[in-house]
Chain A
């Protein structure tokens, strides 16, 4: 118990003194999660919108598949990305394995279903009378889609924030394709896993507190967004 308490006190010291290693790991975590979130958003918001605004055979089944992918284990995506980017894999020539870039790509793949699926849910939640009214007022299909997306903007922001939350908190993928290289690919989750196994409880707790603080901020942001809907 004393060890945990001492660890907690030391952790607070590390945070308050802005310990360079803690700050570096935190900064990298935020940067990689934000980049993956940006990449997933750039692809999946238009993709989710396309799926929502168009009628095609198998649409319902596709949405079901996307929603099922919300809970796919991170290690499965990690394995997939690893195989793709390993030296023998089809994208091995890019030599991206164990780099922050591949971590961004992997996390983007991981959160893509969340962003796309929740975008579809957000757009489906818009009152049907909105696109109908816009059509009646002379909007073309693209203008109707833009207005509907505008109406769903807070719910769509929720999708992005949820994606960010999943990206920053996952560990399996970051470990498998990033390799947890100190000063290069080490992020909050992988550092906690490593430091705990090494017995450096103080650093683990400090990083854990930061991770929880990030989760708390995300949660507050989500609540605010949901209230504004």
Chain B
């Protein structure tokens, strides 16, 4: 049985639908990441699931019971949950008391409060800060205190809203390590919202993609990143080559897709005549100087029309009759003498491609 279940929930603010018809089931001990662009409704969905808001439509079941509209049951459920907000606030008291709040509100004995708070502060590496005024902490420290404050009550469900969004890379790394440790050690059910796909992929067992207030796709990280089910999801998860085509021929699972008059070989479930999008991840494209050096089914000659250096990588866009974007290391680009206007070959395997239906 699912620990937390949303049944066709929707949320409307001032007549504007923020979430529409969301159905979602989260099992005990599961780590579920909600990914989506800013403004997609991730925070609203987390707030609904944590019973901080009441949905305009639909119901939310916790442990099999619909508690959507009972204040008493909602409080009871909330006391089995914790929420770390995107921009956590510290109460105007010291770090120890901040972390102890949740336990005191549950009327736990002071000896238990003391030992649990100390353990939680040790866990997030903030034990030395116990007597500090919590409002004088940095963003990363505040975030870690907020995580300790959420974990100290040993919640069955932990909600994390963009837990590292406002942190520098070092602080973000520390927070991620803490979360990974908690997930591994405590088997806590975690629902996290993030726009950082890598974080979602690293921490979560299952991912839901929320775009424009609708849950577009849920699945394992591999399914989401390698087999997106819609153009919107593909665009969000970083598939930068989305080509419009039509299945021209089919041989078992191997399809020939016609794209701008060029034939691309792809593994596809669609039938001849179906209109599709062909999705190719930039990292699946290999650039070479000669055609013979690739064993891939798809090899196209093209001219470099754009080059951008991004950190240690160079993003290269090639016109092969259709635009193709790939990445190579800076060293490889220099060694092969890739420059604007140069003719090169782009190759990619039929198995690396993914096709989705294109409704015309």
For B92, the chain A residues whose CB sits under 8 A away are 150-151
Q: What size tier do the contact residues of chain A reach? A: 10 to 19
Once the chains bind, are B105 and A139 in contact (CB under 8 Å)? Answer: yes
* B237, CB-defined interface residue at 8 Å: no
Determine the distance from Cα of A130 to Cα of B85 in the docked complex, in whole angstroms. 11
* B79, CB-defined interface residue at 8 Å: yes
Once the chains bind, are B106 and A138 in contact (CB under 8 Å)? Answer: yes
For B50, the chain A residues whose CB sits under 8 A away are 136
Q: Which of A108-151 contact B (CB under 8 A)?
A: 127, 129-130, 132-140, 143, 147, 150-151
Q: Within the complex, what minimum Cβ distance (angstroms) separates A132 from chain B? A: 7
Q: Scoring B residues 212 to 251 as 1 if CB is less than 8 Å from chain A, else 0, what string do you get? A: 0000000000000000000000000000000000000000
Q: Within the complex, what minimum Cβ distance (angstroms) separates B283 from chain A? A: 39
Q: What is the chain B residue whose CB lies nearest that of A148?
A: B91
Q: What is the chain B residue whose CB lies nearest that of A128?
A: B89
Contact of A133 among B79, B81, B88, B153 (CB under 8 A): B88
Determine the distance from Cα of A151 to Cα of B210 in the docked complex, in whole angstroms. 36
Q: What is the chain B residue whose CB lies nearest that of A142?
A: B105
Q: Which of A143-195 contact B (CB under 8 A)?
A: 143, 147, 150-151
Contact of B78 among A127, A136, A150 (CB under 8 A): A136
Once the chains bind, are B85 and A133 in contact (CB under 8 Å)? Answer: yes
Contact of B91 among A132, A138, A151 (CB under 8 A): A151
Q: Within the complex, what minimum Cβ distance (angstroms) separates B246 from chain A? A: 51
Contact of B89 among A127, A139, A150 (CB under 8 A): A127
Once the chains bind, are B52 and A134 in contact (CB under 8 Å)? Answer: no
For B149, the chain A residues whose CB sits under 8 A away are 137
Q: If A135-B52, A136-B50 touch, does A147 touch B101 (CB 8 Å cutoff)?
A: yes
A-B CB contact pairs (8 Å), 30 listed: A127-B89, A129-B85, A129-B87, A130-B89, A132-B52, A132-B85, A133-B89, A134-B105, A135-B52, A136-B52, A136-B82, A136-B159, A137-B82, A137-B83, A137-B102, A137-B105, A137-B149, A137-B153, A138-B79, A138-B82, A138-B153, A139-B105, A140-B75, A140-B105, A143-B105, A147-B101, A150-B92, A150-B93, A151-B91, A151-B92
Q: What is the chain A residue whose CB lies nearest that of B74?
A: A135
Determine the distance from Cα of A137 to Cα of B153 in the docked complex, in whole angstroms. 8
Once the chains bind, are B85 and A137 in contact (CB under 8 Å)? Answer: no
Q: Within the complex, what minimum Cβ distance (angstroms) separates A86 from chain B? A: 48
Q: Which of B73-121 contact A (CB under 8 A)?
A: 75, 78-79, 81-83, 85, 87-89, 91-93, 101-102, 105-106
Q: What is the chain A residue whose CB lies nearest that of B146?
A: A133
Looking at A136, A150, A151, the one whose CB has the most chain B CB atoms below 10 A away is A136
Q: Scoring B residues 293 to 328 as 1 if CB is less than 8 Å from chain A, else 0, what string do you get? A: 000000000000000000000000000000000000
For B150, the chain A residues whose CB sits under 8 A away are 137
For B82, the chain A residues whose CB sits under 8 A away are 136-138
Once the chains bind, are B79 and A147 in contact (CB under 8 Å)? Answer: no
